[in-house]
């Protein structure tokens, strides 16, 4: 009987490698879209013949790109979803890094947090969401202070900006 943990390790390595190749291909596409207006326009122009759009996709993705990447580029362009590339790349990176069963928490603060604070937040979130939690950190000065924590579809917004907005609405309601 095969060692299931060994099989699992090999399967995860194959999956991670495949995801990494997708990330590299999508980053090439994204960077090409940012720097080549003509190819971006041709890829997104559904009135052009398929061959012209395919040529644009090949120029953006590279001539040796996978057929699947080219197909995804066409699909994203035809549906007007090229703006999703950054989010798609980030999601694939998470899947590669943490696996499909991981729960990802995005913690946003106004200033960089020290390691002790990060550790405390990570422990509290892990207590609530379990050991498969992966925490990512983001700095956004626009929140002014406090934290915004998103875990899946759940959003916990304790930012100063949100508290000020609530206060403004409350005061406006009294006028």
Closest CA to 156 of 166, 145, 148, 165: 148
Closest CA to 87 of 2, 35, 142, 23: 23
Helix spans in 82-141 (H): 85-98, 115-129
CATH topology of domain 4-92: Peroxidase; domain 1 (1.10.520)
Is it the case that residue 1 has pLDDT exceeding 60?
no
Element holding 108 (H helix, E strand): strand 103-109
Ranges of CATH 1.10.520 domains, the chain: 4-92
19 near 96, Cβ under 8 Å? yes
- Cα 93 to its chain centre, rounded Å, is 7
How far is residue 154's CA from residue 110's CA, in Å, rounded to a whole number? 20
56-70 pLDDT per residue, tens: 888 888 877 788 998
Q: Give Cβ neighbours of residue 84 (< 8 Å, ≥ 6 apart).
A: 76
152 near 159, Cβ under 8 Å? no
2-21 pLDDT per residue, tens: 678 889 889 888 988 899 99
102-126 pLDDT per residue, tens: 889 999 999 999 999 999 999 999 9
């Amino acid at each position: 009987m095969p060692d299931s943990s060994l099989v699992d390790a090999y399967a995860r390595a194959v999956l991670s490698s495949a995801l990494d190749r997708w990330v590299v291909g999508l980053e090439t596409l994204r960077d090409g879209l940012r720097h080549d207006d003509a190819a971006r326009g041709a890829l997104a122009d559904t009135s052009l013949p398929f061959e012209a759009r395919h040529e644009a996709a090949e120029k953006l993705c590279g001539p040796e790109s996978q057929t699947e990447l080219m197909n995804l580029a066409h699909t994203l362009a035809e549906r007007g979803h090229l703006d999703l590339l950054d989010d798609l790349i980030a999601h694939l990176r998470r899947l590669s890094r943490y696996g499909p069963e991981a729960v990802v928490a995005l913690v946003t603060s106004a200033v960089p947090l020290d390691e002790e604070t990060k550790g405390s937040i990570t422990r509290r979130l892990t207590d609530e969401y379990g050991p498969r939690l992966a925490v990512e950190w983001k700095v956004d000065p626009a929140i002014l202070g406090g934290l915004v924590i998103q875990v899946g579809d759940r959003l916990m917004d304790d930012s100063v900006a949100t508290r000020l907005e609530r206060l403004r609405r409350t005061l406006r309601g009294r006028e």
